[in-house]
Amino acid sequence: MSKESVIALESYEKHSFYRFFSIFLVTVLVLFLALSLLYYYKERNRYFQEQKIENKLEFAECRHHHKLFPHSEPCHMKPVNIDRKLITIYKEIAFSLIVWLFIMLPLGYFLARLSLRPVRQSVATMDSFINGIVHDINTPLSIIRLNAQSILRYLHDERLIAKHERIIQGVDHIEALEEQLLFMLKIRQYQLQRSHFDLAALLEDRLGYWNDMRPNITLTLKTEATPVNADREALMRMIDNIVGNAIKYSPAHSNVEITCTSARLSIKDYGHGIKNPKEIFEKYYRESTDSKGLGLGLYIVKEIASLHDLLINVTSKEGVGTTITLNLSSICATQTLH
The pLDDT of residue 290 is above 70: no
Q: In this predicted structure, what is the pLDDT of residue 337?
A: 46
- CA of residue 139 relative to chain centroid, distance: 35
- Ranking 121-135, 246-260, 310-324 by mean pLDDT, the lowest is 121-135
- Adjacency order of strands within the sheet including 264-269: 218-223, 255-260, 264-269, 321-327, 311-317
- Residue 2 in this model has a pLDDT that exceeds 50: no
Whole-prediction pTM: 0.61
The CA distance from 90 to 36, in Å, is: 10
Q: How far is CA 104 from CA 5, 30, 110, 333, in A?
A: 18, 13, 10, 50
pLDDT in tens, 185-213: 777 778 888 999 999 999 999 888 888 88
For residue 263, the SS3 value is coil
Q: What percent of the chain has pLDDT over 90?
A: 25
Query: What pLDDT, in 10s, does the model give residues 35-66?
Result: 999 999 998 898 888 888 888 888 788 877 77
Mean pLDDT, the chain, integer: 83
Helix (H) or strand (E) run with residue 325 in it = strand 321-327
DSSP string covering 94-121: HHHHHHHHHHHHHHHHHHHHHHTHHHHH
pLDDT band for position 297 (50/70/90)?
confident
**Distance of alpha carbon 71 from alpha carbon 242, whole angstroms:** 101
CA dist., res. 207 & res. 239, Å (int) = 11
Pure H helices in the chain: 3-6, 11-68, 83-115, 117-151, 158-186, 199-213, 232-248, 297-307
CA–CA gap between residue 91 and residue 101 (Å, rounded): 15
The answer to which of 71-80, 227-236, 254-263, 274-283 has the lowest mean pLDDT is 71-80
pLDDT (average), residues 136-152: 81
